[in-house]
Amino acid sequence: MTTFISVFQKEWKELMCTYKIIFVPIAFAILMISFPLSMKLLPDLLASEMPKGAVIEIPELSTSEMMSAAFSNFELMGVIILVLISMGSIAGEREKGVAAMVLVKPVSRAVYLLAKWSAYSLLAVGSFIFGMLLTAYYTNLLFSEKLIWANATAGILLYLPIIVLIITFSICASSISKTPVTAGFTAVVLYLLTMNIPKLFQSPWANNLPHGLVNGANEFMKGNIIELAGPLLGTVLLISLVLTVAITQLKRQEI
């Protein structure tokens, strides 16, 4: 445990020294807040471009729909940001030779990997919460319909295992791949496959996978309370499985 804390503290310091701890929350905030802001400004922007006398009516989205759209925005760019910040965590260190300097010390490979995973997961989760809360605040401020905070909070919390899953894929790919670029590409492909393949199947078991949790988080955000124990458990199991594979692979690997 002492070694884990030492490696974790080092990782956290690295996140601070490389300013990831500042850039990631800011990037997430910009990414998520852009949707409610653009929806608020859209009528004015369109009006400035339309001929005089033209009338357009844009129905105002509900605040829950706005929050749900922020999720969608995150799904595209957010995944790429998370993968980019974490893809070199192990592959990069191995490439530079630092991994060899660390792993000849009494640091087990499992501790080395888990400390990195914990630090990056914490950063990703914190940044996501920050971005979503900022989005919720501005959505509440800019639009007439008031946000139901309980629903928004539940939706945000339910999305957190997905954030951790993205980091898990990235760290796992980084432990297996020889270069950070290969790791990043592998992580994105893994994520896309995990989220999209179950959509091809109509069977109920497919809803117990992470994509079911994304849908569930969206539904909670809209105020529709549905049973989510299956996808939640499925996501946690998948995270555990991927971590086990990553640790086993790293233990077998030559540094």
Partner 1 sequence: MIYCENVTKKYNSFQALNGISFTIEGNGCFGFLGRNGAGKTTAIRILAGLLKPTSGIVKVNGLDVEQEKEKLAEIMGYLPQHPAFYEYMTGNEWMHWVGQLFRLEKKTVEERTENLLKDCGIWEARNRKISGYSGGMKQRLGLAQALMNRPKLLILDEPVSALDPVGRHEMLTMIMKLKEDMMIFMSSHILEDVEKIADHIIMIDKGEIVLSSCMQELKSTYTSPVIRFSLSEAKQELTKVLNEQEWVMDIQVNMADYILHVKDMTIASAQLPKLISYSGAMLVSYQVDTPSLEDIFLRKVR
CB of 112 to partner 1, least distance (A): 10
Are 161 and 232 in contact, with CB atoms under 8 Å apart?
Answer: yes
Query: Does 14 help bind partner 1 (rule: CB under 8 A)?
Result: yes
Query: Does 22 help bind partner 1 (rule: CB under 8 A)?
Result: no
Q: Which of 9, 38 has the CB closer to partner 1?
A: 9
CB of 2 to partner 1, least distance (A): 6
Distance separating alpha carbons of residues 222 and 209, to the nearest angstrom: 21
CA distances from 84 to 60, 89, 157, 211, 240 (A): 35, 10, 23, 22, 22
Q: Where are the alpha helices (DSSP H) in 98-228?
A: 98-103, 109-142, 149-176, 180-200, 210-221
Contact residue for partner 1 among 53, 59, 97, 204 (CB under 8 A): 97
CB of 252 to partner 1, least distance (A): 8
Query: Structure tokens of 35?
Result: 């949707």
Query: Does 96 help bind partner 1 (rule: CB under 8 A)?
Result: yes
Query: Does 249 help bind partner 1 (rule: CB under 8 A)?
Result: no
Contact residue for partner 1 among 17, 54, 56, 58 (CB under 8 A): 17
Distance separating alpha carbons of residues 8 and 58, to the nearest angstrom: 50
* Region from 44-52, 67-75, 93-101, 234-242 binding partner 1, contact rule CB under 8 A: 93-101
Within residues 99-128, the interface with partner 1 by CB under 8 A covers: 100-108
Where b means 16+ CB within 10 Å and e means fewer, 31-55 reads: bbbebbeebbeeeeeeeeeeeeeee
Within residues 164-203, the interface with partner 1 by CB under 8 A covers: none
CA distances from 36 to 60, 68, 179, 180, 224 (A): 11, 10, 38, 34, 21
CB of 107 to partner 1, least distance (A): 6
Say which amino acid occupies 90: I
Query: Does 153 help bind partner 1 (rule: CB under 8 A)?
Result: no
Positions touching partner 1 (CB under 8 A) are: 2-3, 6-7, 10, 13-14, 17-18, 96-98, 100-108, 254-255
